[in-house]
């Protein structure tokens, strides 16, 4: 772990990255990542700036506009952890809000060398589903997965 990184500098860089994502500025987004960065999403790992482009294009394909709302932020050494809500508009101007979490690991140049993004695919599926049958199936899976906890 690179413990000599400035916590406030990491916080500012992470906020600037969020702002670039909200503005949909692909080149600015890429400027916050190292050339050899690794992006881990549920079920897939992408590498380098081309991986960032793929991830961002994928996200923008579904989200017409978005606001990233911080909930919890923790920084230690070169690691930034954030729990946040994504408030977004999707096709048909439908609004959704889902919680996510991310871990960003910064290099000595304050560029992201690793991004791990965590989100509940069932929650996201429910938010995006407009078909009543799909919603019933997703809700049943969610209810079944929590059986015995309620």
Q: Which helix (H) or strand (E) holds 145?
A: helix 132-145
> Is residue 90 within 8 Å of 40, Cβ to Cβ?
no
93, 133: one domain: no
Q: Are residues 73 and 127 located together in one domain of the fold?
A: no
Give tens-digit pLDDT for 67-106.
999 999 999 999 999 999 999 888 777 888 889 999 999 9
User: Which residue stretches of the chain have pLDDT < 50?
Assistant: none
Residue with token string 């992408």: 46
Specify the number of domains making up the chain: 2
Structure confidence at residue 92 (pLDDT): 75
Q: Quick check: is 33 in a domain?
A: yes
Same domain, 80 and 149: no
- Domain span holding position 148: 122-150
102 and 149 both lie in a single domain:
no
Whether residues 21 and 75 fall in one domain: yes
Q: Give the pTM.
A: 0.83
């Amino acid at each position: 772990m690179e413990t000599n990184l400035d916590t406030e500098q990491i916080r500012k860089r992470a906020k600037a990255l969020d702002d670039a994502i909200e503005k949909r500025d692909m080149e600015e987004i890429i400027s916050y990542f190292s050339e050899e960065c690794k992006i881990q999403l549920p079920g897939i790992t992408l590498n380098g700036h081309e991986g960032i482009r793929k991830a961002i294009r994928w996200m923008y394909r579904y989200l017409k506009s978005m606001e990233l709302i911080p909930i919890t932020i923790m920084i230690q050494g070169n690691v930034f952890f954030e729990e946040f809500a994504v408030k977004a508009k999707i096709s048909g101007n439908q609004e959704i809000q889902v919680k996510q979490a991310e871990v960003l690991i910064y290099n000595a140049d304050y560029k992201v060398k690793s991004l791990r993004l965590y989100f509940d695919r069932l929650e996201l599926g429910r938010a995006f589903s407009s078909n009543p049958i799909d919603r019933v199936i997703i809700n049943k899976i969610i209810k079944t997965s929590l059986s015995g906890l309620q």
